Chain A
């Protein structure tokens, strides 16, 4: 199973096993990672599962679609080029070892 590393706001890292085909957000919820609220449960409605993707992995991840891009305009913490909604990041073997940073605030 691919491993996803969550760099938390307090500076610690939490590594969780993720399921191929499922989202990084789900991996966070099932791995009990704090700081990813995912209020809408992953239907791209709330922008509370915001993460910053490690730049070296960005080329491996499909770009945000229009809906995600729009929602990212409304995230509570600063939007950066590497900002994504983790509910829209689908885990694949290529993402094994991916690190995402969890922002200070989601809402």
Chain B
């Protein structure tokens, strides 16, 4: 399965199957990538220091550089990943086969697969109804099922409080961690995104997956429409043709602002359309991380 488009994924029932399919697509894609020799397990070289295990000495490097280097592996970094999934009511929106929440869950599940496969600890924070449900990070294979079950069973509703989510994650993380946020980021409260990005200051890697629906990007409505808020009681009757230009201007400004904030904070930013192949999204994300490390 080279490309996992939204239609194909939608036919797979449940997050578990979809996440696994995406994960396999990612592994298959990595196999074909130009970074083939760089196993996810091999992370970096380190100059030998007393106390290092001699079995990890890289004798070939010694032959080349006349210095002692030892190989270091990822699992030795004890990476902890926190996957923050927005399950607010606005994430239930869909115009195609998958809702934004289904896309977010699938991406989070696939990432969990990959991380657990390389023995990293994975935890999940689900944001819904103004609160947060946490599943602490663990690296065991059995924990993967817990994570996937949580993603499977989450019901969209209410609002997502990114401020609370940032605080919870900050409290739960000890040491360096990877924080992945899957959200449409429609929490417009002052400083919500900044609070998430502030995790970066504590030597955490932060990745933001902004999930958007194609109709949010294009606003392709023509007929007079009563737009209803999915999180509260707001509504508006409007002729979409009259608003399209202004809407697109506002929405794309919001996306650009988010991207710029992430870039300024040194966080990874991925804009994910709900109709694009998700394995490609993850491949793109992993490739970018590889480049940053190299």
Tell me, yes or no, whether A binds B: no
